[in-house]
Amino acid sequence: MNLKKEILTALKVFLGFTLILGVAYPLLITTIAQLAMPHKANGSILEQNGKIIGSTLIGQNFDKPEYFNSRPSSVDYNAQASGGSNLAPTSQKLANRVSFDVKKIQKENNLQKNNSVPADAVLTSASGLDPHISIENALLQLPRVAKERKLSELKIKKLINKNTDSDFIGIWGQSGVNVLKLNTELDKVSGK
């Protein structure tokens, strides 16, 4: 009889915690998030002309010369396959890819062979989906984009500053330029 009582108590506790932690708590947090910050709670989705063009939280590929390029992605910008390449710094495969990417970036942006390239222009992030590039990376691409768009560098630099997310409370991380937001702003300015 004691066993029946213990099983019944365990089932009551299980059902109680399931209702509290599995139903009530998620509903409460979802309600608070929807009221306090609906855009963020729904994935920071960006729309243009009524069409979803992406999330400001997930990097995507921009390969046309009139756009700022995102960081390289080891998962081809596939949000379902988030992850790094797991290639070691001593990997010849990584060295070859980085060397190729440096030359490609130098060529695309009319740089001399001795010009350095920011690390985030050739190295993937741990997730392969980082939506930001460094300010240095954006400034490196600025002349190319300005030339392709036939816009002044000063105007585009203002857009870079507008779409730069600061580090977390001035302590952690680095400021970064959100590439999707920046390219969307450029399209608006250019009338695309």
Instruction: Judge whether residue 177 has pLDDT over 90.
Output: yes
The mean per-residue pLDDT over the stretch 24-50 comes to: 91
**pLDDT at residue 33, rounded to an integer:** 94
pLDDT at 24: 96
Report the alpha-carbon distance of residue 65 to residue 69 in Å, rounded.
8
Q: Kindly report, residue by residue over 85-121, the tens digit of the pLDDT.
A: 888 889 999 999 999 999 999 999 999 888 899 999 9
pLDDT score for 107:
92
Buried b (16+ CB within 10 A) or exposed e, 7-27: eeeeeeeeeeeeeeeeeeeee
Amino acid at 145: V
Q: Check whether 65 has a pLDDT greater than 80.
A: yes
- pTM for the model: 0.82
